[in-house]
Amino acid sequence: MQTVKLDLAHAPYDIHIARDLLTQVELIKPLLLQPRVVIVSNATVAPLYLKSLQDALEAADIQCHSIILPDGEVYKTSETLNLIFDELLTERCERKTTLIALGGGVIGDMTGFAAAVYQRGVPFIQIPTTLLAQVDSSVGGKTGINHPLGKNMIGAFYQPKLVLADLATLDTLPLRELSAGLAEVIKYGLIDDLAFFEWLEANIERLMARETEALAYAVERCCQNKARIVAGDEKEQGQRALLNLGHTFGHAIESGLGYGVWLHGEAVAVGMMLAAFASRELDQISDDDIARIESLLKKAGLPVQAPQLGNERYLDLMAQDKKVDAGKIKFVLMRCLGESYIGELNRETVIAALDAGCSSV
Amino acid sequence: MQTVKLDLAHAPYDIHIARDLLTQVELIKPLLLQPRVVIVSNATVAPLYLKSLQDALEAADIQCHSIILPDGEVYKTSETLNLIFDELLTERCERKTTLIALGGGVIGDMTGFAAAVYQRGVPFIQIPTTLLAQVDSSVGGKTGINHPLGKNMIGAFYQPKLVLADLATLDTLPLRELSAGLAEVIKYGLIDDLAFFEWLEANIERLMARETEALAYAVERCCQNKARIVAGDEKEQGQRALLNLGHTFGHAIESGLGYGVWLHGEAVAVGMMLAAFASRELDQISDDDIARIESLLKKAGLPVQAPQLGNERYLDLMAQDKKVDAGKIKFVLMRCLGESYIGELNRETVIAALDAGCSSV
């Protein structure tokens, strides 16, 4: 078992990474404030893993209740959140009852937000079952729901007590979801870890084949990178925004096409391509760099061409982003391969990037 | 102008108390991260005070937008909260846009919660316009909304950047609302301030007549008491729960009768009577103490007799309280007049208190 520590002064916690962690209740039990948990999962993941988790908890005399939500980004809404509250209140869950998120990014974000605001805050644990959630969304305490006018617009910074990344749950992950997770994996290489980007170029086939050793290394490396960045800037006042590489364009794609049409990771992959094109416009990265990014994304089974929403629609959707300050949109751009920074783009550069990214490749 | 400081290590702030603070924009302007605010108010308060505030802000080159909600506890819901989000997103409010709550406890709680979760947190300022909000709800960072199954069940601890208690706004406060505020004022005397309780016995008529000097003293004393307790226990891990004196019974009354039938302060007044009866059952306070509490509440124009919901219904409603731990309800009880503590009650004592409190006085 590998363990990455997230060193936040007020709330440090462990991220454990290994196969078959799901039933290792001895990792969970010491953290509970009362022998009672509520597991939040979805209709896809629950049939696969809920019983194992629940049996293990109950064998350790921990009372379990489960809430099964419909699966998909389209359900990451205030309506679904209210279903969680209804159930927590009907079950008379208390301030010391721990919520456990068992699922991918949507389940983790919603469960975390429910934990942040139910009775003004109850403890929660993340058990991410997708690659995307294991390398990114379960770590760092960003929680929230979507609004028809923007993704993740309502939420909280609220840290879990523990993250259990059980690599065995990736065995059942649909290929499309594996690829979506790899988009966030590749993102860490592009942010500030050229060595990891090069490791990915050499090992992408092993990851696509789900070799445990390769997956374990990638998840650990991503969590280490994320933990370092988050520990330095928990509330995203500065450098944490680097983790949004590809996300400003990506959120516009998700929101513009309708949540769930593209997976988040797919939108981020194309978002990174657009950020690369914008950076090339600024004479920062080369055609050769872009070719390497595109090649790696393609080998990871990801799209590299942006959907045709129309430039004005893209600009309008991005103007709603959380990183907007005084009307100016902030972008994460690439100074060179493996080194990103936070900057601004003028309208012409955004349009040039969109023109390059939307044209048929 | 009196100023009480709330000394929280991570987020200290000032509570200013005086007449005509509403237009003193120099108190607000230095705290803004961008020259832009959104004022949230209700249909009762806005016609009285919104224009003065808005004109003063605009004269100082601060861009204003206002959101007017319907008035009343019955609107403290997720539906109304979503109206705020819709407007903030439609207006493209940013992470640095400050929300200003202009109104009573409902507006303050909802605006504070909206600020806590919009884009994972934006700054907010409280301008409480009721006595209850000035002495209690605007100070200390408890924010939230009601759920059909329980009051304030969804929320966050989220501190304002500033509280402006403009005593002139109390001129227009309906008498019933003034009385409701006095319930929370009297509460501070009963928690741990016998000298203030005795001052209230001597000055209740001056407060009912809205003498500025008396109101200023009462608001300042309450804010000092609240600031001291909150600074010692921001997240209500211990002593902060003393501020809930009368609230466990009170929330059951509000929820049981339907939100808005009784005002929050009225329910708290009766809740304090029930807490007193329970404490007498435990041989802690005397008949004479109870008579003094009852007399003061009556002079403040408050009810002292509990509505007949039936004992089982009371017990059921209270089992939903946020202070429940492992199925046991915590109550704030009175060791003697002017000294409260957090304890538990067995079923028989609760029923005896309800029998005493519901019988015709």
Looking at the structure, do residues B137 and B190 belong to the same domain, yes or no?
Answer: no
Looking at the structure, do residues A21 and A124 belong to the same domain, yes or no?
Answer: yes
Name beta bridge partners: B163.
B15, B126
Contact residues, chain B, for A118 at CB < 8 Å: 153-154
Burial class (CB in 10 A: 0-12, 13-18, 19+), B144: buried
> Out of A78, A119, A325, whose CB is closest to B322?
A119
Looking at the structure, do residues B251 and B113 belong to the same domain, yes or no?
Answer: no
Q: Do B150 and A117 touch (CB under 8 A)?
A: no
- What tens digit of pLDDT does each residue of A312-355 get? 999 999 988 777 777 788 899 999 999 999 999 999 999 999 99
Place of tokens 């219904």: B313
Portion of chain A with pLDDT greater than 70, in percent: 99
Q: Do B119 and A326 touch (CB under 8 A)?
A: no
Q: A294, A273 in Cβ contact below 8 A?
A: yes
> Out of B82, B156, B323, whose CB is closest to A117?
B156
Contact residues, chain B, for A150 at CB < 8 Å: 89
Is B243 inside any structural domain? yes
B120 is catalytic: yes
Residue B118 in contact with partner chain A when CB distance is under 8 A: yes
Q: Do A89 and B326 touch (CB under 8 A)?
A: no
* A1 SS3 class: coil
Looking at the structure, do residues B14 and B79 belong to the same domain, yes or no?
Answer: yes
Is B305 inside any structural domain? yes
The predicted pLDDT at position A259 comes to: 86
Single-letter amino acid code for the residue at B200: L
Q: Average model confidence (pLDDT) for chain A?
A: 95
The count of structural domains within chain A is 2
Domain final residue pick, B117, B141, B172: B172
The predicted pLDDT at position B210 comes to: 97
Is B288 inside any structural domain? yes
Is B291 inside any structural domain? yes
The whole-angstrom distance between B25's CA and the closest CA on chain A is 21
Domain final residue pick, B143, B172, B201: B172
Is B177 inside any structural domain? no
Contacts of A157 (CB under 8 A, 6+ apart): A141, A142, A143, A234, A235, A236, B120, B121
Looking at the structure, do residues B198 and B81 belong to the same domain, yes or no?
Answer: no
Looking at the structure, do residues B142 and B198 belong to the same domain, yes or no?
Answer: no
Residue A82 in contact with partner chain B when CB distance is under 8 A: yes
ipTM score over 0.95, yes or no: no
Tally of CB atoms within 10 A around B305: 13
Per-residue pLDDT for A361 more than 60? no
The predicted pLDDT at position A257 comes to: 93
Q: B73, B146 in Cβ contact below 8 A?
A: yes
Domain final residue pick, A172, A187, A219: A172
Q: B182, B221 in Cβ contact below 8 A?
A: no
Pairing of strands A339-344, A330-336: antiparallel
The predicted pLDDT at position B361 comes to: 45
Q: A114, A131 in Cβ contact below 8 A?
A: no
Residue B328 in contact with partner chain A when CB distance is under 8 A: no
Looking at the structure, do residues A121 and A240 belong to the same domain, yes or no?
Answer: no
CATH for B293: 1.20.1090.10
Q: Give the residue-averaged pLDDT of A29-38.
A: 97
Is B179 inside any structural domain? no
B151 is in an annotated binding site: yes
The predicted pLDDT at position A192 comes to: 97
CA A20 to chain centre: 21
Looking at the structure, do residues A138 and A250 belong to the same domain, yes or no?
Answer: no
> Out of A90, A121, A152, whose CB is closest to B149?
A90
Q: What are the DSSP E strand ranges found in chain B?
A: 2-6, 13-18, 36-42, 63-69, 98-103, 124-128, 142-147, 150-157, 162-166, 330-336, 339-344
Q: CA distances (Å), A60 to each of A38, A136, A235, in order?
A: 15, 30, 36
Is A223 inside any structural domain? no
Contacts of B51 (CB under 8 A, 6+ apart): none
pLDDT in tens, chain B (361 residues): 999 999 998 889 999 999 999 999 999 999 999 999 999 999 999 999 999 999 999 999 999 999 999 999 999 999 999 999 999 999 999 999 999 999 999 999 999 999 999 999 999 999 999 999 999 999 999 999 999 888 899 999 999 999 999 999 999 999 999 999 999 999 999 999 999 999 999 999 999 999 999 999 999 999 999 999 999 999 999 999 999 999 999 999 998 999 889 999 999 999 999 999 999 999 999 999 999 999 999 999 999 999 999 999 999 999 887 777 777 888 999 999 999 999 999 999 999 999 999 975 4
CA–CA dist A46, B328 (Å, integer): 32
Is A62 inside any structural domain? yes
Which structural domain, as residue segments, surrounds residue A10? 2-172
Q: A150, A119 in Cβ contact below 8 A?
A: no
Contact residues, chain A, for B319 at CB < 8 Å: 92
Per-residue pLDDT for A234 more than 70? yes
CATH for A8: 3.40.50.1970
Q: With cut-offs at 50, 70 and 90, classify the pLDDT of residue A224.
A: very high
Looking at the structure, do residues B26 and B83 belong to the same domain, yes or no?
Answer: yes
Looking at the structure, do residues B190 and B121 belong to the same domain, yes or no?
Answer: no
Q: Do B120 and A90 touch (CB under 8 A)?
A: no
Looking at the structure, do residues B168 and B199 belong to the same domain, yes or no?
Answer: no
Lowest-confidence range among A34-43, A166-175, B143-152? B143-152
Looking at the structure, do residues A64 and A148 belong to the same domain, yes or no?
Answer: yes
